[in-house]
């Protein structure tokens, strides 16, 4: 049975709900990249943020050393993590 707004999956026969997070690159003032959505467990957010940062830096090397951050928002749009981009390289 699917529970809204997360996604449900079975792990070892137990139904587990996985929340949807939105990631973006931001300078925390005026700039924010196109958001990326990903289903993840909250304890995996650092790894998800790292992977997103590497992908974004590969496509946008000019983001380096500009005070940018990876912002991760929960389904309600509340920031649950903000990580400096330069430390995630």
Domain that holds residue 39: 20-88
Assigned domain for 77 exists: yes
**8 in any annotated domain:** no
d(CA 9, CA 72): 22
Assess contact for 71 and 81: CB atoms under 8 A.
Answer: yes
User: Residue 39 has which token pair?
Assistant: 């289903």
- Angstrom distance (rounded) from CA 89 to CA 51: 9
Residue 6 falls inside a structural domain: no
Token pair 């330069």 is at which residue?
A: 86
Report yes or no on 71 lying in a domain: yes
Contact status, residue 52 vs residue 68, Cβ threshold 8 Å: no
Rounded Cα distance between 69 and 62, Å, is 13
31 inside domain:
yes
Tell me whether residue 11 is in a domain: no
Number of domains in the chain: 1
Residue 83 forms part of a structural domain: yes
Is residue 14 assigned to a domain? no
**Is residue 41 within 8 Å of residue 18, measured between CB atoms?**
yes
Q: What is the pLDDT of residues 9-26, one digit of tens each?
A: 565 676 667 899 999 999
Per-residue pLDDT tens digits for 19-58: 999 999 999 899 999 999 999 999 999 999 999 999 998 9
């Amino acid at each position: 049975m699917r529970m809204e707004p997360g996604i449900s999956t079975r792990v070892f026969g137990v139904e587990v709900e996985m929340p949807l997070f939105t990631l973006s690159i931001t300078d925390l003032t005026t700039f924010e990249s196109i958001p990326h959505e990903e289903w993840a467990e909250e304890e995996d957010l650092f790894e998800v943020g790292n992977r997103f940062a590497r992908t974004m830096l590969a496509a946008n090397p000019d983001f380096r050393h500009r005070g940018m951050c990876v912002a991760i928002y929960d389904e309600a749009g509340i920031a649950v993590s903000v990580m400096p981009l330069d430390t995630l390289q």
